[in-house]
Amino acid sequence: MSDFVSAVELNDLLTRSAPVRVIDVRWRLDRPEAGHDDYLTGHIPGAVFAALDTELSTHGEPSEGRHPLPSTATLQDAARRWGVRAGDTVVAYDDFKGIAAARAWWLLRQAGVDVRVLAGGIRGWKDEGFAVATDDVAPDPGDVVLEEIGADALTIDEAAAFPASGVLVDVRAPERYRGETEPLDPAAGHIPGARNLPTLLHLDATGRILDRETVLANFAEVGVTPGTAVAAYCGSGVTAAHTALVLHEVGIEAKVFPGSWSQWSNTPGRPVAIGDQPG
């Protein structure tokens, strides 16, 4: 069963008053503080704004990366604030190809929640002609109890060792992987042994995942086939969760290194590879 849901399917669930909680996870690297304002300009009726930086992440030292994992307690408090109750399905969406929504999917799935991502995001919802709302939704608190998260996450040492036994995929833009540019972190390049496959290659112009055969062919080019041990990293652990979602859709389970390049490049002594080869 797909972990994506269409706008038509979501509207049908909401119309039938099914036990669904919708969260708006609008967040952009270039506008990290603007997500709530965008939410207020028009969101799916009943959707609650979920803050990626404070509810789906925590703050720490630079050596922990830009988006360290939240504690299970922090995530549970957030889910209850969103109104999630035991047995509910959560549908997450954003306005940028599902990248931020996938972070919610990755965390909540580990926590034992039935979670989906809205294909096409808010744009797909509007394209179907469905209404939007501008209120700041504050539902009655939920009672969900989350399972401990972190089992699908790699530590920095596990990420360093991973290429020896599987495929570590760097899902950033090729120029960042090659070390030609680095707009955010103190060093340019990639983790030695990692292979580059940007996550946006798996999506069409609307942010929907490409067909299964195309996605599998993309991953096969970097050595990932069904049965391969695979892990993904990006700049700060957000986009890599989307790659894990894409892989899950084609039947391949992946780990994520949530510290990603922001942690690696801020940790003294970690080697850096440059160029278009794993190194």
Cβ atoms of 115 and 108 within 8 Å: the answer is yes
Residues 6+ apart with CB under 8 A from 144: 76, 79, 80, 84, 85, 86, 88, 113
Q: Pick the closest to residue 65 from 277, 248, 273, 270 (CA basis).
A: 270
**Catalytic, out of 99, 234, 245, 247:** 234
Instruction: Give me the helix-helix angle, 99-110 and 72-81, nearest 10°.
Output: 110
Neighbour tally for 153: CB within 10 Å: 20
Cα separation, 37 vs 40, whole angstroms: 5
Q: E strands within the chain?
A: 4-5, 20-24, 48-49, 89-93, 114-118, 167-170, 195-196, 230-233, 255-256
- Is there a catalytic annotation at residue 234? yes
Q: How far apart are CA 256 and CA 153, in angstroms?
A: 5
Q: Which residues are catalytic?
A: 234
